[in-house]
Structures are given as structure tokens and as C-alpha cells.
């Protein structure tokens, strides 16, 4: 049987983001978008799962999660 850590280590950022409530989504988006990319680019990359390795590292830092690549 898989542990919670094994399951969480395989989650993608898209799945993580979709599981958040609206307020948490807004807080995460506001921490990331004004500094690292435009608002529209964030949603484009979210929709297409096209974050670069560096962007994913920053998202992991902001969320304290590890996302599947």
C-alpha cells in the first residue's frame, strides 16, 4: 500500500492547483505571477502543463510540495 508521501510525490502541479480552494489559488497565483511571469502566461502554462523546470522549482518552494515532472 502506498503512503501519503508516495502519493503526494506523484501529484502534478495542475492537480494540486485544482484541489485548492479559490482563496488559496488566488494567494498562490499572486505570489507567482507578478514576479515570475504574466497572469495570462501562468494560465497558459497551467492549461498545457508546460512549466519549465525552474518554474516548477519555484512553485515547489512556494507550496512546500514536490510535483511530478
Q: What is the pLDDT of residues 32-56, one digit of tens each?
A: 888 878 889 999 999 999 999 999 9
- The DSSP secondary-structure symbol of 50 reads -
Q: Mean pLDDT throughout 49-69?
A: 91
Q: Tell me, what's the pLDDT at 5?
A: 56
pTM comes to 0.75
What is the spatial distance between Cα 66 and Cα 59, in angstroms, rounded to a whole number?
Answer: 9
Mean pLDDT of all residues in 16-45: 91
Asked if residue 45 lies in contact with residue 51, where contact means CB atoms within 8 angstroms, the answer is yes
For the range 61-64, what are the long-range contacts, defined as Cβ-Cβ under 8 Å and sequence gap of 24 or more?
Answer: 62/28, 62/31, 62/32, 63/16, 63/28
For 13, other C-beta atoms within 10 Å of its C-beta total 21
Lowest mean pLDDT among 8-12, 49-53, 60-64: 8-12
Amino acid at each position: 500500500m502506498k503512503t501519503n508521501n508516495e502519493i503526494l510525490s506523484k501529484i502534478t502541479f495542475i492537480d494540486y492547483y485544482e484541489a485548492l480552494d479559490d482563496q488559496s489559488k488566488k494567494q498562490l497565483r499572486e505570489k507567482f505571477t507578478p514576479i515570475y511571469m504574466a497572469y495570462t502566461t501562468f494560465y497558459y502554462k497551467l492549461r498545457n502543463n508546460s512549466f519549465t523546470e525552474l518554474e516548477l522549482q519555484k512553485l515547489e518552494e512556494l507550496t512546500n510540495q514536490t510535483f511530478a515532472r
